[in-house]
Amino acid sequence: MNTVLSIDGTRFRINGQLTYSEIPSCPSQYHGLLMNARFIQGVFDDKKDVGRFDRFGRIFDAEKNTDDLIKALPEWYAHGLRAFTVGFQGGGPCFTLPGNDLINNAFAEDGASMDPDYLCRMDRLIRAADEVGMVVIVSYFYVGQNHLLKDDDSVIRAVETASTWLREQGYTNVIIEIANEHDVEQFRVHPILFEDKGIVQLMEIAKRASGGMPVGCSTTGAYFSEAIHTASDVILIHGNNLSRQVYHNYIQKAKRITPARPIVTNEDSQCLSNLQVALDRGISWGYYNNMTKQEPPALWGITKGEDTFFAERLAESLGLAENVRSLEESFYLQGLEADACWEGKRWIRLASKWPEKIHRVDFYRDGAYFDTAYDDPFTIHYYWNWLQFPVQGIKPGEIWEAVITLSDGQVFRKRKIAE
């Protein structure tokens, strides 16, 4: 293997060297971080009705989906990404379909075996990441799919099965996440996944069966478990739904866990203001773009708008590039592209490279006021920082405008015609 991950106190090393320390102009306080993204659908399939995912002007194919992510990894690495999360039960296409309205699950009902197609795709992905120099956070269970395992004993066997498989492949670039946000109510069907003591038990099984791979488990931003984080090799936290101040407070809680260990946010949102909070506090941050990266078929490359602004800001923060955009060029009215429509619905937002500078964004439809957004990521019909409701019935040719008022009083306008 080319990428050997190790933990040194609160920092990560790859092949013995603190991450990012090889970049001459990278600030030393960022050495040892593991900046990452949620690419949870990297081995996605739907055994119920995969044809539903022929949409957004593209055809879905499970093998091509994984191959496309593999092709995108070098570009992400060049911008500073050093890890990504991918799941054996994927994640929900939260904007378009309920997470439990599909079957995306690598585990047999009794947990004793796994789908060989999923294992093959995961193997290709982990080995490709190893070639590039990246770490894969392998997530086992996701709400909406966990019920496909029969009972708690099946969950235990599934953890043993997956962890043993990871060990047998000889991977050296893997972190195990037992479950994504285990405290979500739907996990209650399996007490061992819902209760803190059950997660601690599963983490111990995973560590043993994997041969000592680092293990953690994430919770929602509304829940903090000292028991889980104390038992973790890597403290996995989520910044979803959290303001900058609340996110900061959450990080401080994690830092009080002793002995100290790495803290990795492996899911947040498109909120680049939270990226800066993580950097300020010296922890790793995870970019999560539901529309481009979790709604199959995903666009795994660095797409125009939010993806581009994240990649550029990450690279600039780590000393890999210098800012070449004017302030006016750092805004993009997103969601009106021809391939961004599904069943007449569009998710419109104002992508921004420097959201901290914005006071508010007023949206206009064909000259008439439509909505206002005050909080990053400046979406129409804002619900949470990672979730928004769609606008329906937009016709090609409509003129949409975002009027951006900065905190210093400057005003910029971004206009786009619906395609």
* Structure confidence by residue, pLDDT tens digits, 370-380: 999 999 999 99
Query: What would the mean pLDDT of 207-225 be, rounded to a whole number?
Result: 96
Tell me if 322 is assigned to some domain: no
Query: What would the mean pLDDT of 99-103 be, rounded to a whole number?
Result: 86
Tell me, yes or no, whether 183 and 52 share the same domain: yes
Tell me if 210 is assigned to some domain: yes
Tell me, yes or no, whether 300 and 357 share the same domain: no
Phi, psi of 102 (to 5 degrees): -150, 170
Q: What is the pLDDT of residue 1?
A: 86
Residue 83: how many CA atoms within 13 Å on its side-chain side? Answer: 30
Tokens found for residue 389: 């409701």
Does 405 score more than 90 pLDDT? yes
Tell me if 253 is assigned to some domain: yes
Mean pLDDT of the chain: 97
Domain end: 276, 292, 317, which one?
317
Tell me if 323 is assigned to some domain: no
* Structure confidence by residue, pLDDT tens digits, 4-61: 999 999 999 999 999 999 999 999 999 999 999 999 999 999 999 999 999 999 999 9
Domains contained in the chain, number: 2
Banded model confidence at residue 100, pLDDT cuts 50, 70, 90: confident
Q: What is the pLDDT of residue 243?
A: 95
Whole-model pTM: value is 0.97
Find all residues with CB under 8 Å of 242, minimum gap 6, and list them.
221, 250, 274, 385
Q: What is the percent of the chain with per-residue pLDDT over 70, rounded to a whole number? A: 100
Tell me, yes or no, whether 281 and 391 share the same domain: no
Q: What is the pLDDT of residue 364?
A: 98
* Structure confidence by residue, pLDDT tens digits, 332-389: 999 999 999 999 999 999 999 999 999 999 999 999 999 999 999 999 999 999 999 9
Q: What is the pLDDT of residue 254?
A: 98
Shortest CA distance to 386 belongs to which of 304, 308, 288?
288
Does 80 score more than 80 pLDDT? yes
- Order of strands, edge to edge, in the sheet holding 5-8? 5-8, 11-14, 17-18
Could you tell me the residue range of the domain that residue 48 belongs to? 5-317
Banded model confidence at residue 306, pLDDT cuts 50, 70, 90: very high
Tokens found for residue 103: 């079957």
139 bridge partner residues: 87, 177
